[in-house]
Structure 1
Amino acid sequence: MPTPERAAPDARPAAPGPAAPPDSAVIRDALGVGVAVGLSGFAFGVTSAGAGLGVLQTCALSLLVFTGASQFALVGALAAGGNPLTAAAGAFFLGVRNAFYGLRLSALLGYRASVRPFAAHWVIDETAAVTMAQPDRRTARLGFTVTGLSLYVLWNLTTLGGALGAEALGDTKAWGLDAAGPAVFLALLAPMLTTTVERAAAGLAVVLVLVTLPVLPAGVPVLLSALAAPAVLFVQGRLDQRRPDRGRGGNATGTAHRSDAQEDPR
């Protein structure tokens, strides 16, 4: 009497996780981020000197604060005549986001309690991005260390160079160097604008700033430029609603053809 066939067990191996990249690739990517962003320290040194800060004050900000967005926000507010305490408070709250990065990186890196205070000084946008892109703890630590070290060293060296250069030139506004900071940010942002919607939002933001800058108080044009993104998204949504849905007919036709093909010709 034949025995019933048993179902063969599922011998398929579990899907492997992503393979760890070689150390050379991690170091290359980390150095690329560190060098590219570190060079913008020149712009901060020039901007800070143009805001009235001395070379020692400028360098102290880069050494002790080490978060570019907060540093630019501080010196930008001071250059616009803002209150120093208000400028410092704004820079502080802008840097609070790094604390949320730290919560995630603490679990990824797994440093001892004695090392965490030193590593926390390097927790910024760039180190967080490189670290979280790695598949395991070893490469995460390598990416964090190389990015943080290269960026910290280069940022402080270029800050010093920018501050000394601006001091030697004298009036930075006469040379147009007060626009160095915004120009660097635009240069870093431009390659990331890959879609029509992103480019439209960026262009509208620039127009809003240029139109309102001569007539509104300092800081208000930048806040108004933030309205560019929702405005462009609203227009894009209305256009999508008016555009005829051509995909339905094609999908229905394709489904019908597939159904006919699957019928038994007999």
Structure 2
Amino acid sequence: MRSPQRTPRVPSPALSHDRSLVRDSSLVWLAGGIVGVSFGAVSVAGGLPVWVPVVMSLVVYAGSAQFSAVGVLLAGGGPVAAAATGLLLNTRTAAFSLAVAGIIGSGRASRFLGAHLVTDETVAFALAQSDPVRRRRAFWISGLGLFAVWNVGVAAGALAGSALGDTARYGLDAAFPAVLVALVLPVVRADTRVRRCALVGAAVALAVTPAVPAGVPVLLALAGLFLHRRPAGTGAAA
């Protein structure tokens, strides 16, 4: 006979973890979508065809590099100058790739796709997790979601064109920095060496911001990593 009371289903731990990662990633996705709308609107309002920001977001997929490249184009620079600017700003992702190389996976397809999803936000979100399995899930969940939301936002902004007006007045550029601070703050609080590196990097970035193009302060802030020394008496790097 069947019991009138069914045995309650126990939720899978992996499913519960994925749901919590989706919930936490949603803040990054929201910020990405908002800034994506701004990028698409700025590009089209400046005179570029709708397809330019849309294709750039699919192929290049690098927020600061895309803004800088479009800025060069709108200022009268050629495609070569725009591409060079984007490549310069994206050199920071080389360091990010080293940090998540073991998280992405060993397969050729996963490495190819994972490399395309490496951004400031996905790396920070992944490294903020407590164990390797959760870090891998966090990278792919946040990365794939952010890629989708960013491109939808860019397409929406490009189609809206100049209807949004001056997007700078909305303060959209503050969304990503605020999310990144929220992601890394627990690690900065818990580790003295990380906190020291972060403070030095922030000081360098603030000092050079008035004198260098947008995005370059982030590169120079990597100087703080030189303070991340191997702890005495251990055989592994911190």
Q: What interval of TM-score do these two structures reach, taking the shorter chain for normalisation?
A: 0.5 to 0.7
2:172 to 184, 197, 210: 184
Tell me the equivalent position of 2:146: 151
Q: Percent identity?
A: 35
- What SS does structure 2 have at the residue aligned with 1:111? coil
Tell me which residue corresponds to 2:52: 57
* Aligned residue type for 2:166: G
Q: Which SS does the other structure have where 1:150 is aligned? A: helix
Change (3 A) 1:106 1:51: same
Q: For 1:39, what is the secondary structure of its paired residue?
A: helix
Count of residues in correspondence between the two structures: 181
Contact map agreement 1:44 1:72 (CA 8 A) in 2: yes
Structure 2 residue runs without a partner (length 5+): 1-13, 186-198, 218-238
How far apart in 1 are the matches of 2:52 and 2:159?
12
Structure 1 position 80, deviation (Å): 2.0
Distance 1:190 1:131 in 2: 17
The one of 20, 26, 33 equivalent to 2:21 is: 26
Q: What residue in structure 2 maps to residue 132 of structure 1? A: 127
Please list every run of 5 or more consecutive structure 1 residues that lacks an aligned counterpart in the other structure.
1-19, 210-219, 227-266
| 2:38 maps to which of 37, 43, 46 | 43
Q: Which protein has the larger Cα radius of gyration, Structure 1 or Structure 2? A: 1
Q: Give TM-score scaled by structure 1 length.
A: 0.58
C-alpha displacement of 1:104 = 1.6
1:53 offset after TM fit, Å?
1.6
Give 1:118's aligned residue. 113
Which of 61, 75, 86 matches 1:80? Answer: 75
**CA RMSD of the aligned region, Å?**
3.4
Deviation at 1:125, TM superposition (A): 0.6
CA distance, structure 2, for counterparts of residue 180 and residue 75 of structure 1: 19
Shift of the 221–69 alpha-carbon distance from structure 1 to 2, 3 Å rule, reads closer
Cα distance in 1 for residues equivalent to 2:83 and 2:213: 18
Q: SS where residue 121 of structure 1 aligns?
A: helix
SS of structure 2 residue aligned to 1:114: helix
* Paired residues of 2:104 and 2:114 also in contact (CA < 8 A): no
Distance 1:139 1:156 in 2: 26
What is the CA-CA distance between 1:87 and the residue it aligns to? 1.8
Query: Structure 2 CA distance, aligned partners of 1:117 and 1:188?
Result: 25
Paired residues of 1:43 and 1:180 also in contact (CA < 8 A): no
Match of 1:109 among 104, 113, 135: 104
